[in-house]
Amino acid sequence: MAPVMLRRVARGGVAGITGAGVSALAQFLLVVVVTRGFSREQAGVFFTATALALMVSGVAKLDAGNGVIYFIARARTYGYRGMSGYIRAALVPGVVVACVAGAVLSGELGFLAVALPFVVAADVLLAASRGFGTMRPTVCYDGILLPLAQLGLVWLVRDPSWLGFAWGLPYVPVAVLAALSLRGRVPRTPYLPGTGRDLWRYTAPRSVAGAIQAVFQRLDIVIVAMLGGPAQAAVYTAATRFKVVGQLANQGLSQAAQPLLVRALAAGDLARARELYQATTVWLVLLTWPVWLGYAALAPWLLRVFGSGYGSAVPIALVLSGTMMVATACGMVDVVLTAAGHTTASLANLAIAVACTVVLDLALIPAHGALGAVLGWSGGVLVKNLLPLWQIHQRYGLRPFGRHTLAALRVRSWAAA
């Protein structure tokens, strides 16, 4: 049973990481197109606006996607009764919040404000499809279609005022396609009383945590723009663009493993949870450490791809590489923690990590610019990973490496075959 389970996660993870690889490459090329096609000030303004849009949409999502996955995965044995109600309960509040936020921030975001509800809807609907056991819509629409469309449209832009429109427009068809992907998967069952209450009772702590996570991922760019100016924001964004590789690889594996972790921990099957955690950790290390080591070694040459003025960011690349190697070696600790139902602990961890980042940013950016920002980000990332690592070890005796590590390597080779 164990090899079959791991093989299933491996194949789902390979699909997710394939989409993640395409997305990472497209996002990297998008940054190259913007930095080489526009001045550092214009590029910094665009990067700051997209970072703000992603922060706002991340808050507006209310982490409802993970709530949907949780309830769909647990309801498998009950014939998915009431699933349409859970999806509606997750979708409507986030879209409403995104609409309100877009109206408030329309002056700062322009067309990006219009795109916010579609960003939220696509995230929730794609999460629901993963809950039903399929990775294909997420890989095809979010991992491949979206970043390639953004790259193509941004490449066509010559006026910097249209960059936001080109970047935000692809979210509209992605949301529509995500909705169509659920047709036929969601059984037509009557609405069950208490559906919304159950979903938000579980999701509420994660909503706050999801909002903090969204802020944590993009806050550094906004703070650099505020304290150091848009040119420093452009340099920082270019030098840290490679961090998306680790984030997307982690996302690709966690999307495949999360429903199985929920079921294992809900059933008290720590042996299966341990196997999943150790397998995905070693896969993450094998997939991402060569990237970080290569980036650290080749940074003086790679950074020149972005144009003149970006070669000075080598120290930023070194801090980024070392931090991501440590974070990857911890595995998907927060996914394990929330799959076990400890959403409040996850929220506290994220709050501490963001506080650490903000304090370090405010102390370091005025004097050190983009380097100060990456040091602040590094401090927050280490806190965000080491705290839940200690917590899941204390509560469940789980470690990122152990006797399942070698077995996971054999399964990985089967999945790749």
Long-range contacts of 373-376 (CB under 8 A, 24+ apart): 373/220, 373/221, 373/223, 373/224, 373/228, 373/236, 374/220, 374/236, 374/239, 374/240, 374/316, 374/319, 374/320, 375/319, 376/220, 376/223
pLDDT of residue 188: 67
Q: How open is the CA angle 85-90-92, to the nearest 5 degrees?
A: 95
Helix axes 195-228, 40-60, angle to 10 degrees: 160
pLDDT of residue 243: 74
d(CA 293, CA 148): 27
The Cα-based distances of 124 to 17, 194, 279 in angstroms read 20, 20, 27
Q: How many CA atoms lie within 13 A of 47 on its CB side?
A: 37
Residue stretches of the chain with pLDDT short of 70: 1-17, 19-20, 75-82, 187-192, 245-258, 404-417
pLDDT of residue 417: 44
pLDDT of residue 48: 95
The number of helix segments (H) and strand segments (E) in the chain equals 19, 0
Q: What Rg do the C-alpha atoms of the chain give, in angstroms?
A: 21
pLDDT of residue 113: 96
C-alpha torsion 16→289→355→68, nearest 10? 20
pLDDT tens-digit map of 63-116: 899 888 888 877 665 555 667 888 889 999 999 999 999 999 998 899 999 999
Tokens of 174: 């992605």
Contact between residue 200 and residue 15 where contact means Cβ atoms under 8 Å apart: no
Q: How many CA atoms lie within 13 A of 403 on its CB side?
A: 2
d(CA 23, CA 31): 12
SS3 114: helix
pLDDT of residue 371: 93
pLDDT of residue 396: 85
The Cα-based distances of 142 to 6, 171, 311 in angstroms read 24, 9, 31
The structural domains of the chain, with segments of one domain joined by +, span 2-416
